[in-house]
Amino acid sequence: MARAVEIGRPVEISKHFRSGGVFMNVRLLGLIEVSHEEVNGLACRELSGLAWDQDAEIVYAVSDSGYLVHLRPRIENGILMGVGFQAAFPLRGRSGQPLPEALADAEGLEILNGRNGALGDAELIVSFEQPPRVVAFRPEGVFVRDYPLPPRLQDPRVYADENDQLEALALHPAFGLLMIPSRPLAGGDQTLFTIYSLDDRTWRYAPLDYQHSAAVALETAADGSLIVVERRYEGFFKPIVFAIRRLSLNSAQPGSAAVEELVQFNPEDGWTVDNYEGIARHEGDRYFLVSDDNENPIQRTLLLYFEILTAPRRPQANAQAHFATSPRYFSASLGINSARLHGRVR
């Protein structure tokens, strides 16, 4: 096994909170800025999906440029202190050749056989945009199989935009592989976001701000609920805000998902954020969250480690959520604002 190249350094999470601190319903457990050293000619850039392999103790990440990276997190006393870059492999098609650029826009990532106690049998499931599809690979990027999409998701023209297709994946113990476009399908109800299963079941929920929100990451919690990451991007001169929310698929109302607010990160309140697009459950209720730097020199690849705390739930089935703003929390300014992402949010 190759030795990992250290590529991370701890950075400040917030002007007001340090690692170990609690904000809303999460405990903050470290933030790492990832540098761009290369392994096998590939760098940790444009990372849009994460998956944790408990058996191999590796965080896999998928790049928008069509390759997988293998990362080893370094956690000391429960705090993420660094990350090592161990391997990188291009995603390959049926022919064994690397995917051409037109087919390489990977977005979501999930893992099979990552917690079964056996080494060497993991498979990584990747969702793609342009055209929308879901494909399984070996961790070395070797093609395994295609997953047929429900008919309503097969035609790229049904999506709101070419950049709003199959953004994220989650593997659910009861419902199997779940998918979410970043925005509602064209022609449908734009006020509700929809989660789809491979067998064409659906669950809808109210986003924070249906006019400006996008679903960017999805993961299954230990209790079977879903963790969704939303990005609110209103315009060039407004802060880009990220929210982490819990969805219950066992809502009393068929086809709907009850929503619980967990946390919001607003750079105007002092938070260090970038374009978060991938989430993976680590152990228990602890998660990794990664940002996509879009290969933009003024953006960063950040890896956040946090724990979702057990708290009384106040689910709201398809109710418009209150959006955190500076006056409610803090007024300090730090980190990214929408100007840094103008024209590059993907």
**Does residue 140 form part of some domain?**
yes
Q: Provide the domain count of the chain.
A: 1
Q: What pLDDT tens digit does each residue of the chain (346 aa) get?
A: 567 899 999 999 999 999 999 999 999 999 999 999 999 999 999 999 999 999 999 999 999 999 999 999 999 999 999 999 999 999 999 999 999 999 999 999 999 999 999 999 999 999 999 899 999 999 999 999 999 999 999 999 999 988 889 999 999 999 999 999 999 999 889 999 999 999 999 999 999 999 999 999 999 999 999 999 999 988 877 889 999 999 999 766 768 899 999 999 999 999 999 999 999 999 999 999 999 999 999 999 999 999 999 864 444 444 334 434 333 332 222 233 333 333 344 4
- pTM of the predicted structure, to 2 decimals: 0.89
257: closest CA among 211, 199, 206? Answer: 206
For residue 180, give every residue at least 6 positions away whose Cβ sits within 8 Å of its Cβ, in sequence order, or none: 166, 167, 168, 193, 194, 195, 196, 215, 218, 228
Domain of 281, in residue numbers: 5-206+270-315
Domain annotation covers residue 220: no
In a domain, 233, yes or no: no
Q: Give a yes or no: residue 263 inside a domain.
A: no
Instruction: Confirm whether 106 is domain-assigned.
Output: yes
Q: 153 in a domain, yes or no?
A: yes
Q: How far is CA 130 from the centre of its chain?
A: 19
**Residue 31 falls inside a structural domain:** yes
Q: Please count the helices (runs of H) and the strands (runs of E) in the chain.
A: 1, 26
Residue 150 belongs to a domain? yes
Establish how many alpha carbons lie within 13 A of residue 249's alpha carbon, considering only the half-sphere containing its beta carbon.
23
> Are the beta carbons of 135 and 112 closer than 8 angstroms?
no
CA angle 121, 108, 182 (to 5 degrees): 160
CA 65 to chain centre: 16
CATH of the domain at 133: 2.115.10
CA distances from 321 to 7, 36, 145, 247, 290 (A): 38, 37, 39, 13, 24
